[in-house]
Structure 1
Amino acid sequence: MASRQNPKPMTIDEGSVHIDPAVNKLKRILEGKPEPDFLPGEYIGNYTTIYNMCIQKPPHDQSQELYDKYGGIFEDYAKHTVLPSIMEKHDEYMLRELSRRWDINKIMVRWLSRFFFYLDRYFTVRRSLPSLTEVGMTSFRDHVYNNVHFNVKQVIIALVHKEREGQQIDRALLKNVLDLFVENGMGSIKRYEDDFEDFFLQESASYYSRRSSRWIQEDSCPEYMIKAEESLKKEKERVAHYLHSGTEPKLVDIVQTHLLVLVAKQLLEKENSGCSALLRDDKTDDLSRMYRLYHAIPKGLEPVAAAFRLHVTAEGNALIKQAEDAATSGSVEEQVLVRKIIDLHDKYMAYVMDCFQNDTLFHKALKEAFEIFCNKKVAGSSSAELLATFCDNLFRKAGNDKSNDDSTIESTIDNVVKLLDYISDKDLFVEFYRKKLARRLLFGRFNDDHERSILTKLKGQFGGQFTSKMEGMVTDMQLAKDHQTGFEEHIKNLPKGVDFTVTVLTTGFWPSYKTSDLNLPVEMVNCIESFKAYYAIKTNHKRLMWIYSLGTCNLTGRFDSKPIELIVSTYQAAVLCAFNNTDILTYQELLEQVNLSHEDLVRVLHSLSCAKYKFLNKQPASKTISKTDTFEFNSKFTDKMRRIKVCMRKFKKKKKEKTKLIMIVVKQVPLPPVDDRKKVVEDVDKDRRYAIDASLVRIMKSRKVLPHQQLVSECVEQLSRMFKPDIKMIKKRIEDLITRDYLERDTENPSTFKYVA
């Protein structure tokens, strides 16, 4: 039987006879020379030759030799064909040639790797060698790219510079070339960064440094920002069109640094066009642009916010100074001032919301600015008092004029609550507001919806404790109506006497008022006894305390010419009724009969005998009341009015006027007490001492031991929602608590306190 012989092993030289013509043909095709395409048989023939050489038994296996030959083909082509063709070109032509050669190299790698594919299947994997594709790419990098990238980089930078100066360039070409930088990193961006990006960023920094130096001298702030914004936009477009995406944050940072950060102070403070000028001239578009530019920079908005805060503070201080200058005799036009401050707040809150995109930094700046000037006194009046007076006027007008627009008042209420948030002495506002609310409620000059609306908003903003007493006052007024209805029902079957209206107040809710042991006319005494009897039936264990200083009475004065209705205080009514049984009384007789203090009786007699309406004739005639004076009922008094309201607060008017009177109506409705600013402040100071004591004890009870500084800071933090505690007062309260055995000093460290259980 004849045996089959193995074919003769093929050497690398023998194999090259088949391989080299195919390689040369491929080169000619890639060079664009006339050459027919590969036939299927040619491709299969070359693949088979290489396959057979690779599967030969050792030592005839030609895999290593073929692998080396494959690398040599690319090396020879790169050194002797590709590199010379690139180096002979310049500028943009060099880039085009490099791009063309890079594309040719990729095609060549794809075709030759097919011929030598069997090497990749087994040989390169088993030996852990670079793949055929990697060998082809590496050869281009080592023998072409490494020799031309410096010159290429210079050309690219020059083209970018031309584009920055407004000229057109071939962006697609730059993208292809820069992709070559990236791809020659073999999966890493480092080669692109080292060979191109670092130098490009340095050149960009130099370019924008020069631009910045020139623009900051030549242009206004808005013009400069337009150029800076346009530059940022163009650089981002540059990245999108041909630079690597990783370059964008670095390039943007360079542009921001040189165009915005390094010149921020100079730009924002530019005379007649800086941030303050933009705010002054309401340049909202430019302010929005400033926000957009500096928002993207870490801490870039801080100087803008600082300029905003200073500008708002200056405008607010100007309003305070105007109000101070316009104040007459210590009287402040709080309606004008508060309205202007509200308008100022609306204006700059719109800036915060629109121009500054609701940024918390600008909310904080606005708050700090308003806290500065909203806590300044104007002609001796605190901002808390002015705001309370503003509210009082607003609600009194709303109570009297039913045609008021509710939406406008609600908007004003919202603004008042916002302004109050900036005022540190909120407890002082509460006390002033409570006293004025009492006057509105007791005098019937209020709108229930508006009063409840502001209390709801204040409660939501500052908590229930802030409004608890005022809510109680409003509730009392509703209960008082119920009591009055019940009282009228109770007396409807009794003989008709004097009309009598009572407002029952809860002591803890309302301000304290002056009381006296006034001797009332018998008609009033009967009314009071009737109401006491009714109230005793309706309630248990509650005692009525009558505040005559708040009452008003409607009397009919029987004068010779005609009867006139007089609206007077309870004190005035008691004095006038003393003349029902006699025409002449001395000062001392009146003092004993009505049982008023000297000061109150002087005020009453002055209003009845020395003011505009002279219902009593005084002997001797003068403008002052003395203890030796005698008073006579003026039956000759006449006036064209049929109803006269007699006020005790005006002491100057001179006219001679007359009366004889009989009491017919008594209304136990309060007159507004004279505001005593000093007393309000004293009451608030007293309440603050209690609040500080409570806070200190509360803190120490939970912490047991605390150093002085920490105790003070925690106390300030707890109380600052209502008022800004004075550090000296806190120290005094600590010493007082030590003397009262609530706290004690640590024996080893006197600056540390312990809670005494």
Structure 2
Amino acid sequence: MNERGPMNLEEGWGLMQRGITKLKNILEDLPESPFSSEEYMMFYQLVFNMCTQKPPHDYSQQLYDKYRESFEDYITSTVLPSLTEKHDEFMLREFVRRWSNHKVMALWLSRFFHYVDRYFIYRRSLPTLNEVAFACFRDLVYRKVKGKVRDAVISLIDQEREGEQIDESLLKNVLDIFIEMGKGQMEFYENDFESSMLKDTAAYYSRKASNWISEDSCLDYMLKAEECLKREKDRVLIYLHVSSVPKRLEKVQHELLTVYATQLLGNEQSGFHALLRDDKVDDLSRMYRLFSMIPRGLERVSSMFKQYVTAEGTTLVKQIEDAVSNNKAEKRDMVGLLEQALGETFEIFCNKIIAGSSSAEVLATYCDNILKKGGSDKLSDEAVEDTFEKVVRQLAYISDRDLFAVFYRKKLARRFLFDKSANDEHERSILTKMKQHFGGHFTSKIEGMFTDLALAKEYQSHFEEYLSDNSNVSPGIDLTVTVLTTSFWPSYKSFDLNLPAEMVKCVEVFRDFYETKTKHRKLTWIYSLGTCNINGKFEPKTLELIVTTYQASALLLFNSSDRLSYQEIMSQLNLSDDVVVRLLHSLSCAKYKILIKEPNTKTVSPTDIFEFNSKFTDKMRRIRIPLPPVDEKKKVIEDVDKDRRYAIDASLVRIMKSRKVLGYQQLVIECVEQLSSMFMPDVKAIKKRIEDLITRDYLERDKDDPNIFRYLA
């Protein structure tokens, strides 16, 4: 071209339009062959030549303008008509298709016009080609059809609420465009869609609630409200942006609950007082869940609860007064009668199951939340002490105090061993209060845990002296060991972990030291409770990783191997499947991806392959990588049931050893009296334990009266 002189604009642009026309045909699904590499290079070279000719034949500015005009012409002649002629779901599909095509067109033309983007635009500080293409769609397409698109989306959402099947992926794709129009900011999504969607949501549920409140009982209304809230939450997570979750749920909660709170709670036939009166535990739980969602909702519930207790107490006092006035009871008996009645009443509701958890577990969790770091930051020491008093008073009404003690020790162990306890004085304060109220047998194991920790510090101090006195002995790395007494602490699984070489020396050195202190106690290493601080040497920078002993053992395997399979890791560590899955998930699928997993899925499978992520980095220089929590509730309950069997056996043997001969009824009464300070034994369980003691030759039945038992020495 240069040999025959500069190319003029009309000729050059005429050639360029062939490529643009072909691209449009491809986008419109018209018969057209794909671009060949030769065609691509021809158009690229054409633009290059037209931009590098000497003035006045440098057409960079003209090509830049025509690039924009190409989009404007295509949008005006083809894109907008295709959208205006369609409606509802068909229009939404076309909208998604046109945006996808627009991005393809921008990609191809930016390749053809690369020289314009790279040099001309850069020197003039003009908007880039991509910015020009984006602005064309935003200004000429999005701004003109956004209202129609918004209304169509809201209409589909309402259809789904009424039980119709809709294309959820289509809605997500459409709403993603609203977000893309904001280039990462939420302005377009919020102003052009979300505000109208929220108004529609409020109006929809206002209509529903108005009908339900006049037609349904409180129970039916709450069931419908709970189901609607669940569906709305699921719906939001499927196709709306996550930022819409709290806003939309707030609208639903307001219309269904806040507006009608007084009517729901005060309903005479099925409101709060009626549920308490009829012991409707599941419905009360549902009411608690629902009203905890709205502002001051639980304040209203607690106020009505206060009214109910006041009314019941007043009725109780009136009954006692009537009994006294009718000479059925002495006045001096009134306090005792009242105290007994109130105690029995409180025991009934204090031992209800709360959202699938026993009161014992809930109370132990509450204590843990107060006692761990950050839990009582906003409370004064006086407020904490007052809270502990209330906890102990409530614990007095709980029949499963042994279950509380086990849950409490589990959580106390985690606070102590993982340095999560906020205040040692608070820990000892509640221990003292529990001991005062329930006796030393109730707190003996907890006190043993405190003693163990004090002794462990002494052991650590002696260990450090041992190392300094024996210069030829060294664990190789900093080592802190906490020695615990098995009988005081919760039971933990002990795996025969294949420790890395770096850690084997540590264990051997401490074991040799420990044998110098005692010959009669055996150490069992609980690696699941260990933590390690290791240095991860990543390409961006070195990071200190705070991990469990299991995690550290897995990571250290990659010092000698670039890639390891799941099976190889499990074999080398000698751990069970469930433990390996948890630790590998924490290292490759959670927040900090120290390991790269193939395939890149969110779950760990036995066929996965892992390698060290050398490019990992974080803004912090020290990060803690937690293991996913394990729900130990089932095991705790099983352990408590086992302990209860032993406790019943021991009580029965003690009673019979002292009485020698006793009737069944009296034996059961005395057994219940002995054990009720820790738990309320079931009569059937006592009967079963008696039968077991007979088979083991501790007891025998009287030959003449099967309800009389004799103790066998």
TM-score, structure 1 as length reference: 0.51
**Correspondence for 1:428:** 403
**Correspondence for 2:630:** 674
**Correspondence for 1:542:** 521
User: What aligned pairs does 1:618-637 form with structure 2 within 5 A after superposition?
Assistant: 618-637=597-616
User: What aligned pairs does 1:17-416 form with structure 2 within 5 A after superposition?
Assistant: 314=276, 322-327=284-289, 359-397=335-373, 401=377, 404-416=379-391
d(CA) in 2 for partners of 1:622, 1:398: 34
The verdict on how the C-alpha distance between 1:641 and 1:414 changes in structure 2, with shifts beyond 3 A counting, is same
**Correspondence for 1:710:** 666
Contact 2:656–2:710 (Cα < 8 Å) also in 1:
yes
**Correspondence for 1:533:** 512
1:445 to 415, 420, 424: 420
d(CA) in 2 for partners of 1:398, 1:617: 34
Deviation of 1:324 after TM superposition, in Å, equals 4.6
The verdict on how the C-alpha distance between 1:588 and 1:547 changes in structure 2, with shifts beyond 3 A counting, is same
The verdict on how the C-alpha distance between 1:327 and 1:439 changes in structure 2, with shifts beyond 3 A counting, is farther
Contact 1:316–1:370 (Cα < 8 Å) also in 2:
no
Deviation of 1:607 after TM superposition, in Å, equals 1.8
Amino acid of the structure 1 residue aligned with 2:671: C
**Correspondence for 1:418:** 393
Alignment partner of 1:684 is 2:640: yes
Deviation of 1:363 after TM superposition, in Å, equals 2.7
Alignment partner of 1:456 is 2:432: yes
d(CA) in 2 for partners of 1:707, 1:477: 47
d(CA) in 1 for partners of 2:512, 2:653: 46
Amino acid of the structure 2 residue aligned with 1:739: T
Alignment partner of 1:752 is 2:682: no
Cα deviations by residue, 1:543-562 (Å, 9 ceiling, x for unpaired): 21111111111111111111
1:696 to 637, 648, 652: 652
Deviation of 1:627 after TM superposition, in Å, equals 3.0
Amino acid of the structure 1 residue aligned with 2:566: Y
**Correspondence for 2:466:** 490
d(CA) in 1 for partners of 2:458, 2:277: 50
Contact 2:543–2:621 (Cα < 8 Å) also in 1:
yes
User: What aligned pairs does 1:544-693 form with structure 2 within 5 A after superposition?
Assistant: 544-649=523-628, 674-693=630-649
Amino acid of the structure 2 residue aligned with 1:703: R
Deviation of 1:469 after TM superposition, in Å, equals 0.5
Contact 1:398–1:404 (Cα < 8 Å) also in 2:
no
Amino acid of the structure 2 residue aligned with 1:482: E
Deviation of 1:597 after TM superposition, in Å, equals 1.8
The verdict on how the C-alpha distance between 1:419 and 1:315 changes in structure 2, with shifts beyond 3 A counting, is farther
**Secondary structure at the residue paired with 1:557?**
strand
Amino acid of the structure 2 residue aligned with 1:395: L
Contact 2:596–2:612 (Cα < 8 Å) also in 1:
yes
Amino acid of the structure 1 residue aligned with 2:447: E
Deviation of 1:611 after TM superposition, in Å, equals 2.2
Cα deviations by residue, 1:121-158 (Å, 9 ceiling, x for unpaired): xxxxxxxxxxxxxxxxxxxxxxxxxxxxxxxxxxxxxx
d(CA) in 1 for partners of 2:518, 2:493: 25
Deviation of 1:313 after TM superposition, in Å, equals 11
Contact 2:343–2:397 (Cα < 8 Å) also in 1:
yes
d(CA) in 2 for partners of 1:385, 1:458: 16
Deviation of 1:709 after TM superposition, in Å, equals 1.6
Amino acid of the structure 2 residue aligned with 1:616: L
The verdict on how the C-alpha distance between 1:503 and 1:367 changes in structure 2, with shifts beyond 3 A counting, is same
Contact 1:609–1:616 (Cα < 8 Å) also in 2:
yes
Cα deviations by residue, 1:77-136 (Å, 9 ceiling, x for unpaired): xxxxxxxxxxxxxxxxxxxxxxxxxxxxxxxxxxxxxxxxxxxxxxxxxxxxxxxxxxxx
Deviation of 1:400 after TM superposition, in Å, equals 7.5
**Secondary structure at the residue paired with 2:558?**
coil
Contact 2:475–2:506 (Cα < 8 Å) also in 1:
no
Contact 1:313–1:373 (Cα < 8 Å) also in 2:
no
d(CA) in 2 for partners of 1:321, 1:448: 40
d(CA) in 2 for partners of 1:316, 1:543: 56
Amino acid of the structure 2 residue aligned with 1:562: K
Deviation of 1:413 after TM superposition, in Å, equals 1.1
Determine what percentage of the aligned residue pairs are the same residue: 60
d(CA) in 2 for partners of 1:621, 1:399: 37
Alignment partner of 1:739 is 2:695: yes
CA RMSD of aligned residues (A): 3.6
Contact 1:324–1:378 (Cα < 8 Å) also in 2:
no
**Secondary structure at the residue paired with 1:631?**
strand
TM-score, structure 2 as length reference: 0.53
User: What aligned pairs does 1:463-502 form with structure 2 within 5 A after superposition?
Assistant: 463-492=439-468, 494=471, 497-502=476-481
Amino acid of the structure 2 residue aligned with 1:581: S
Deviation of 1:321 after TM superposition, in Å, equals 5.6
Q: Structure 2 unaligned runs (5+)?
A: 1-264, 266-271, 322-331
The verdict on how the C-alpha distance between 1:726 and 1:496 changes in structure 2, with shifts beyond 3 A counting, is closer
d(CA) in 2 for partners of 1:589, 1:692: 47
**Correspondence for 2:327:** none
The verdict on how the C-alpha distance between 1:315 and 1:483 changes in structure 2, with shifts beyond 3 A counting, is farther
d(CA) in 1 for partners of 2:674, 2:652: 10
d(CA) in 2 for partners of 1:400, 1:739: 53
Largest Rg, 1 or 2: 1
**Secondary structure at the residue paired with 2:560?**
coil
Amino acid of the structure 1 residue aligned with 2:350: C
Contact 2:582–2:627 (Cα < 8 Å) also in 1:
yes
Deviation of 1:690 after TM superposition, in Å, equals 1.2
Deviation of 1:389 after TM superposition, in Å, equals 0.8
Q: Structure 1 unaligned runs (5+)?
A: 1-279, 281-309, 650-672
**Correspondence for 1:519:** 498
d(CA) in 1 for partners of 2:274, 2:679: 23
Amino acid of the structure 2 residue aligned with 1:434: R
| Equivalent residue pairs, number | 416
Amino acid of the structure 2 residue aligned with 1:714: E
Amino acid of the structure 2 residue aligned with 1:443: F
Deviation of 1:563 after TM superposition, in Å, equals 0.9
Contact 2:370–2:376 (Cα < 8 Å) also in 1:
no
